[in-house]
A and B are shown apart, each in its own frame.
Chain A
């Protein structure tokens, strides 16, 4: 196979791999951030309620 044609296949394969891994990290980071925010909101709410109940 001519080199210029092979380069296209090799570049495509590595581009797919890099894009998928970067996309994974971005999506995972967003999922973690969203879940941590939700946990924090409910945790604060519970802490407030328990504080009121204890007072």
Chain B
């Protein structure tokens, strides 16, 4: 007999993630991150500046930061697409991207504080990059506060899309903060026309970047799958009259 959920399969039913693809994405991400880290520790030269060995934090710290900003960028694009097409898939993508953006932001703050203590002797400094990143975290935390206050689904999705678009204003400010205000403590690693790094540093860094980006893709698939399952559950509960 056909099951109740397969009977409603169609455009209105949320899609379920394919576990095989997600596992393959995680495996590729794990391999790239592991190789990047091995190269960072055993091939790339140790920083000759005052930072010395503690500079090794950079190989995951910077890719995590870029991934956090990329997540917010995805939420921005998903917000625009939702407003244009009113398709719930873009709302799910937006929620997943902001949630992961916050997770990566928390990690970048934590590793950044450890790095700050090693490099500057303090866990926190009110300098442009750190301050704008903190503002981004607080802004995107507000995204979930907003979602929690609106019950009606389509209104919640519309407000969330608008919020994600407006909050994205802080992302380029955060990214360019160290370039526009060079008197800050945070170093500028990649400059236009030059990576500013030894080629071994650069290869290890780019592998970590690729791995972290793939990790985000895998995690996005998980989060979207969870949102889809949640919606499917709500749909079935409504049919059951619960």
Interface residues of A (CB under 8 A from B): 1, 3, 6-7, 9-10, 12-14, 16-17, 20-21, 24, 28, 31-32, 35-36, 38-39, 42-47, 50-51
Q: Please tell me if the beta carbons of A10 and B57 are within 8 angstroms of each other in the complex.
A: yes
CB neighbours of A46 from chain B (8 A): 4-5, 236, 239-240
Q: Please tell me if the beta carbons of B110 and A51 are within 8 angstroms of each other in the complex.
A: no
Residue-wise, chain B 110-123 has the 8 Å CB interface mask toward A (1 for contact) of: 11001101100000
Q: Please tell me if the beta carbons of B4 and A47 are within 8 angstroms of each other in the complex.
A: yes
Complex Cα distance, B115 from A17, in Å, reads 13
Q: Please tell me if the beta carbons of B1 and A47 are within 8 angstroms of each other in the complex.
A: yes
Q: Which of B218-233 contact A (CB under 8 A)?
A: 219, 222-223, 225-226, 229-230, 232-233
One of A1, A36, A39, A45 near B52 (C-beta < 8 A): A1
Q: A9-B57, A45-B240, A46-B239 are in contact. Are A16 and B111 (CB under 8 A)?
A: yes
CB neighbours of B115 from chain A (8 A): 9, 13
Interface of A is mostly: helix
Interface residues of B (CB under 8 A from A): 1-5, 7, 37, 50-54, 56-57, 60-61, 64, 103, 106-107, 110-111, 114-115, 117-118, 215, 219, 222-223, 225-226, 229-230, 232-233, 236-237, 239-240, 242
Complex Cα distance, B110 from A16, in Å, reads 8
Q: A32-B225, A42-B233, A43-B4 are in contact. Are A17 and B107 (CB under 8 A)?
A: yes
CB neighbours of B237 from chain A (8 A): 42
Nearest residue (CB) in B for A4 is B53
Q: Please tell me if the beta carbons of A9 and B114 are within 8 angstroms of each other in the complex.
A: yes
One of A14, A17, A28, A45 near B222 (C-beta < 8 A): A28
Nearest residue (CB) in B for A42 is B236
One of A3, A31, A35, A38 near B53 (C-beta < 8 A): A3
One of A21, A32, A43 near B236 (C-beta < 8 A): A43
Complex Cα distance, B3 from A53, in Å, reads 14
